[in-house]
Amino acid sequence: MSDDLFRPVGPPWQRVSPALTKALRILCVLPLLLLAVVLAVLGVLLPVPSVVSWVLLGAAAATVLGAAWTWSWADRSRRAVGYAEQEDDLIVSSGVMFRRLVAVPYGRMQFVDVSADPLERWLGIATVTLHTASTETAAEIPGLPAEEATRLRNRLTELGESRGSGV
């Protein structure tokens, strides 16, 4: 039912690179695992009453569980990202728990950003952000392969120029 709600309008969703899963995992899971290790080491080594060290170990275990959940969330989150170039609008959808679908008419785009942080660059992906005169638009497509990001940017800029209708 909910997937139905966010089904694409025209052409099917174009999905993004699996490298995004990797990026999300590195960003979110790694720190959690590090935290778990620190907690566990403290729990074992600190000269504190056993209750405290059990609490620390428990926290470490919970963090590991959290990391495991985040691991699977990363992939679901990546799969939830989709975009479709329609005749007159670009449609972007994202989110697992909080799903969102934004349709941006080409003529309304003010500018298009392509950005890639060092991690994204290493994985060969980039994020394309669409800006209209409204900040609510906030349409972001993460995890695009670098060439696809450039192509999309050029295409959108071109379409924006030919259909631009001012503010």
Count residues near other proteins (CB under 8 A).
Answer: 36
53 or 157, CB closer to other proteins? Answer: 157
Question: Does the protein bind other proteins through residue 1 (CB under 8 A)?
Answer: yes
Measured between alpha carbons, how far is residue 68 from residues 20, 25, 140, 144 in Å? 17, 10, 26, 25
Stretch that binds other proteins, among 24-32, 54-62, 99-107, 115-123 (CB under 8 A): 99-107
Question: Does the protein bind other proteins through residue 157 (CB under 8 A)?
Answer: yes
Question: Does the protein bind other proteins through residue 127 (CB under 8 A)?
Answer: no
DSSP string, 26-82: HHHHHHHHHHHHHHHHHHHHS-S-HHHHHHHHHHHHHHHHHHHHHHHHHHHHHHH-E
Strand bridging mode 111-115 / 89-94: unpaired
Question: Does the protein bind other proteins through residue 98 (CB under 8 A)?
Answer: yes
Pick the binder of other proteins from 22, 25, 78, 108 (CB under 8 A). Answer: 108
Q: What angle do CA 60, 66, 69 make, to 5 degrees?
A: 150
* Signed CA dihedral, 66, 71, 74, 77: sign only: negative
99 or 121, CB closer to other proteins? Answer: 99
CB of 28 to other proteins, least distance (A): 19
Residues that bind other proteins (CB under 8 A): 1-2, 5-6, 9, 88-89, 95, 97-105, 107-108, 110-111, 132-137, 139, 157, 160-161, 163-167
